[in-house]
Amino acid sequence: MFGDKKVVFSGVQPSGNLTIGNYLGAIRNFGAFSEQYHCYYCVVDMHAITVRQNPAELRRRTYETLALYIACGLDPQKNTLFVQSHVPQHAELGWILDCYTMFGELSRMTQFKDKSAKNADNINAGLFTYPSLMAADILLYQTELVPVGVDQKQHLELARDIANRFNQIYGETFVVPDGYISKDGAKIMSLQDPIKKMSKSDPNENAVVRILDSKDDIIRKFKRAVTDSDNKIVRAEGKEGITNLLNIYTCFTNKTPEEAEREFAGMGYGDFKLAVGETCADALASVREEFAKLMADKAYLESVMAQGAQDAYKNARRTMSKVRRKVGFTELKF
C-alpha cells in the first residue's frame, strides 16, 4: 500500500505488435482497477531484451505499447504509465532477488523451456532469470494484485514464493501479491495451431491477430483460422479451433458461451469465422483510431513517460531503501 490505496501492477513486453491475446488477457482488464487502486502499468522493455531485439524497433514499440495502453482506455492521470528501464530500481531489486531465487525453481518455469526451444541460439542468463526480474517489478511497488493472462500464473506463484522467503528471513518487507486472471480472455490461442497460445512473436502472421491490424487483415486471418471437419459450432475437446473462436467472440461481445453456441447453431464455418472476424475488427476500431492520434503526438507520450517514471521512482526508492538496509548494504551519506 502506498498512500491510502492498495496497489495493482502489470506489464507488457514491447517485443512485438500486441495481439488480441495481450488485449483480452491483460490490457482490457487494467482500466477496471483505476478508481480503487493505485495502478502501475509498465512497458517492460528490460524483459523484451531477453530475446534479441532490433534496437530501433524496440524503441518504436516502446512508444507504441505506451500509446496502446492509453488508446485502450488507461488515463495517465489515473494510472502510473511508465517504462521499466526508466526506473533503475527494477534492475537493482532484480539482482537482489536473483540471490533469493533457486536454480531449481527457475529451471521448472515452462516459459523458459518454451522460449529456449524457440531461441536455441540465444539461451541467455536473462531469459533464465526473467521470473526474478518480474518478481522485482511487482514487489517494488508493494503490489496486492497483478492482472495477467493464465500463461503468467507460474511466474506469479514464484514471485509469491520469493516474497515469502525474503519476508521470512528479514521480517515483513514485501506485500505478497495475488494474481487476477480474468476468466474469459485468460488464454487466447493461435488461429493456426489452437493448442498453442497466441503470441506476439509468432513468425506465422496468420496465427496472430494484432490489435492494430486493419479490418480486412483481421477478417482474412479469421477466415483462414484452423478448425475441424465436423461442422458443429460448439466448444468441445478435439475442437480447439472452434472453441477458441467462440471464446474470442464471447470476450468481445460479453455473451455467454451458451448464447454464442445458440446464435451460431446450424451456421457454416465460413459464415461463423466471418462473424467472429467482423466482431473483433469492429470492437477494436476505436482503439486503432485513438492509437493513430496518440502516435502523432510524440511529445505528449514523452510527457506521460516522464511523469510515470517520476511517480514510480519515488515509490520504488522507498522499497529499495528498506531492502538495502535489510540485506546489509551500507548507506552512502552525502
The residues that touch ligand AQP, with contacts defined as CB under 6 A, are 12-13, 15-16, 19, 21-22, 25-26, 148-149, 151-152, 185-188, 197-201
Minimum CB distance to ligand AQP, residue 288 (Å): 19
Pick from 18, 27, 133: nearest CA to 84: 133
Query: Residue 146 or 163: which CB sits closer to ligand AQP?
Result: 146
Minimum CB distance to ligand AQP, residue 147 (Å): 7
CA distance 62 to 186: 24
Q: Which residue is nearest to ligand AQP (CB)?
A: 25
Minimum CB distance to ligand AQP, residue 33 (Å): 14
The catalytic position among 113, 153, 197, 293 is: 197
CA distance 83 to 304: 10
Which cell numbers hold the place of 90?
527494477
Mark whether 197 is an active-site residue. Answer: yes
Query: Residue 79 or 173: which CB sits closer to ligand AQP?
Result: 79
Please spell the DSSP secondary structure of 136-157, one letter per residue. HHHHTTT-SEEE--GGGHHHHH
Mark whether 115 is an active-site residue. Answer: yes
**How many angstroms separate the Cα of 289 from the Cα of each of 30, 132, 284, 295?**
20, 37, 9, 10
Mark whether 6 is an active-site residue. Answer: no
Give CA torsion, residues 78, 79, 83, 84, to 10 deg: 150
Minimum CB distance to ligand AQP, residue 58 (Å): 12
CA distance 242 to 244: 5
Query: Residue 76 or 149: which CB sits closer to ligand AQP?
Result: 149
> What is the enclosing helix (H) or strand (E) of 8?
strand 7-12
The catalytic position among 115, 221, 239, 273 is: 115
CB 323 within 8 A of CB 173: yes
Query: Residue 16 or 131: which CB sits closer to ligand AQP?
Result: 16
Chain center to CA of 312: 18
**How many angstroms separate the Cα of 145 from the Cα of each of 258, 288, 308?**
30, 28, 19
Residue type for 17, please? N
Minimum CB distance to ligand AQP, residue 187 (Å): 5
Query: Residue 114 or 161: which CB sits closer to ligand AQP?
Result: 114
Minimum CB distance to ligand AQP, residue 72 (Å): 12
Residue positions annotated with a catalytic role: 115, 197, 200
